[in-house]
Amino acid sequence: MKKLLLTICTFLCLLFNAQLDTDHWFAPMAAKAGNVNLEGYLYLSTNETTPFSVQVFNNNTLYTTVQVSKGNPVQVSIPNYFLITTNQADLFTPNSMGMYVKGTKKFFANYRFSLQNHAEIITSKGLAGLGTNFYAGTVPITGSAFYVNATIGITATEDNTSVVVSGYNPGVVFSDGSSSPTKTFTLNRGQSYILDATSTDSGYNLDGLVGAKIESTKPISVTNGNFNGIYTDFNYTNNDVLMDQAVPVDRLGKDFVLVKGNGTATSGMETALIIATENNTQLTFNGVASGITLNAGQYFRVPSLNYINQGAGNYNMGISSNKNIYVYQLLAGVSGTTGANEYATGGMNFIPPLSCFMPNKVDEIGFINRIGNQTFTTRLNIITQTGATVTLNGNSIAAANGPYPVNGNPNWVTYTIPNVTGTVVVNSTKSVTAGIAAGSGAVGYGGYFAGFSSIPVISKTGDCYAGILLQVDNSYDSYQWYLNGNIIPGATSYSINPELYGAGTYTCLIIKNNCESRLTTGYNYTLCPPITTTTYNIGSCNTKVISPVFTTSTQAIVPSNTNIISAPTSGTATVNPTTGEITYTPNPGLTADTTDSFIYYVDGNGTPADFEYFKIIINVDVLQTTNAALTSCADAAGNGTFNLSSVSLSPDTGTTVQYYTNSAMTGTAIAAPATYSGPAGTIYANVSSQYGCTKQAQITLTTTPSPTINTSNYNATLCDDNFDGIVNVNFASISPLIVTGSASFTIRYYLVQSDATAGNNNNLPANWTYTTATTVYVRVDATTGTCPPAFGQINFKVGNRITLITNTVNSEVCDNDINGSENVNLNDFKNLITTNTGVTATFYSTLANAQAGTSAISPNQTITTTSTFYVRFTSATECPNTGTLTVTLKTPKKSIILKDTVVCADDRAILDAGAGFTSYSWSNGATTQTITVGEGSYYVDLGFNGCIYRQTANVTTAQAPTITKIEVTASNATVSVAGGTTPYQYSLNGIDYQTSNVFVGLSRGIHKIYVLGSDGCSPVTQEFLVLNLINAITPNGDGINDVLNYSDLRIKQNVSIEVVDRYGAPVYRSSDKNYIWNGKMNGSPLPTGTYWYLLKWTEPDTKLPVSYSGWLLIKNRD
Q: Are residues 466 and 377 both part of a single domain?
A: no
Distance CA(863)–CA(25), nearest Å, equals: 103
Entry field: residues in the chain: 1118
803 within a domain of the structure (yes/no): no
8 within a domain of the structure (yes/no): no
Task: Indicate the helix (H) or strand (E) that contains 850.
Answer: helix 847-852
780 within a domain of the structure (yes/no): yes
Q: Strands 1005-1012, 985-987: parallel, antiparallel or unpaired by DSSP?
A: antiparallel
pLDDT of residue 446: 59
390 CB-near residues (< 8 Å, 6+ apart): 382, 384, 397, 403, 415, 426, 427, 428, 429, 432
Measure the CA angle with vertex 1027, ends 1023 and 1031; round to 5°.
165
Q: Are residues 387 and 241 both part of a single domain?
A: yes
Of the candidates 962, 940, 943, 964, the one whose C-alpha atom is nearest the C-alpha of residue 952 is: 940
pLDDT of residue 4: 29
Segments in 614-758 forming alpha helices (H): 731-738, 753-758
Q: Are residues 122 and 271 both part of a single domain?
A: yes
895 within a domain of the structure (yes/no): no
Distance CA(611)–CA(580), nearest Å, equals: 14
Exposure of 331 in the CB half-sphere (CA atoms within 13 A): 28
707 within a domain of the structure (yes/no): no
Of the candidates 546, 472, 547, 548, the one whose C-alpha atom is nearest the C-alpha of residue 510 is: 472
Q: Are residues 115 and 136 both part of a single domain?
A: yes
Helix/strand number for the chain, H first, E second: 3, 89
798 CB-near residues (< 8 Å, 6+ apart): 717, 718, 719, 720, 727, 770, 771, 772, 773
Give the predicted TM-score (pTM) of the model. 0.54
Distance CA(225)–CA(243), nearest Å, equals: 4
Distance CA(54)–CA(107), nearest Å, equals: 9
1050 within a domain of the structure (yes/no): yes
**Where does a domain end: 482, 505, 522?**
522
Four-residue CA torsion sign, 1080, 1084, 1086, 1092: negative
Q: Are residues 239 and 317 both part of a single domain?
A: yes
In Å, what is the CA distance from 1061 to each residue of 1090, 1092, 1113? 7, 6, 10
Distance CA(740)–CA(742), nearest Å, equals: 5
Distance CA(229)–CA(207), nearest Å, equals: 11
Q: Are residues 662 and 588 both part of a single domain?
A: no
609 CB-near residues (< 8 Å, 6+ apart): 160, 555, 558, 561, 603
Which residue range forms the structural domain that includes residue 515? 459-522
pLDDT of residue 13: 34
**How many domains, the chain?**
9
Distance CA(435)–CA(42), nearest Å, equals: 18
Long-range contacts of 389-398 (CB under 8 A, 24+ apart): 389/428, 389/429, 390/415, 390/426, 390/427, 390/428, 390/429, 390/432, 391/426, 391/427, 391/428, 392/417, 392/420, 392/424, 392/425, 392/426, 393/423, 393/424, 393/425, 394/425, 394/427
Q: Are residues 842 and 936 both part of a single domain?
A: no
Task: Indicate the helix (H) or strand (E) that contains 1010.
Answer: strand 1005-1012
Distance CA(975)–CA(229), nearest Å, equals: 122
Q: Are residues 68 and 168 both part of a single domain?
A: yes
pLDDT of residue 453: 58
710 within a domain of the structure (yes/no): no
Distance CA(811)–CA(800), nearest Å, equals: 28
**Where does a domain end: 563, 588, 621?**
621
Q: Are residues 824 and 883 both part of a single domain?
A: yes
Amino acid identity, position 892: P
Contact 832, 871 (CB under 8 A): no
Annotate 639-664 with b (16+ C-beta within 10 A) or e (fewer): bbbbebbebebbebeebebebbeeee
Q: Are residues 986 and 1004 both part of a single domain?
A: yes
> Hey, is 191 helix, strand or coil?
coil
DSSP state letters, 57-99: EETTEEEEEEEEBTTB-EEEEE-GGGTEE--GGGSSS-BS--E
Q: What is the DSSP letter of 959?
A: P
Exposure of 893 in the CB half-sphere (CA atoms within 13 A): 15
Average pLDDT for runs of 10 along the chain of length 1118: 28 45 94 89 93 93 94 96 96 96 91 85 89 96 93 95 96 96 95 96 95 97 94 86 92 92 84 96 96 97 94 92 95 74 82 86 86 84 93 94 95 93 91 77 58 70 80 86 95 92 93 85 86 94 95 90 90 94 96 94 84 92 95 83 93 95 94 94 96 95 88 90 91 93 91 94 95 95 81 93 92 90 92 91 94 93 93 92 93 91 86 92 93 91 91 89 82 87 91 92 88 87 83 87 86 89 89 86 88 87 78 80
2 within a domain of the structure (yes/no): no
Contact 17, 328 (CB under 8 A): no
Q: What is the DSSP letter of 969?
A: E
pLDDT of residue 785: 66
Contact 990, 1019 (CB under 8 A): yes
Contact 902, 957 (CB under 8 A): yes
**Where does a domain end: 798, 829, 862?**
798
Annotate 682-708 with b (16+ C-beta within 10 A) or e (fewer): ebbbbbbbebebbbebbbebbbbebbe
Three-state helix/strand/coil letters over 196-237: EEECCCCHHHHCCCCCCEEEEEEEEEEEEEEEEECCCCCCCC
Q: Strands 29-30, 84-85: parallel, antiparallel or unpaired by DSSP?
A: parallel
Q: Are residues 205 and 344 both part of a single domain?
A: yes
- For residue 529, which phi and psi values (nearest 5 degrees)? -70, 155
In Å, what is the CA distance from 593 to each residue of 533, 545, 585, 597? 20, 20, 14, 13
Four-residue CA torsion sign, 914, 917, 919, 923: negative
pLDDT of residue 2: 29
Q: Are residues 972 and 1021 both part of a single domain?
A: yes
Q: What is the CATH number of the domain that holds 841?
A: 2.60.40
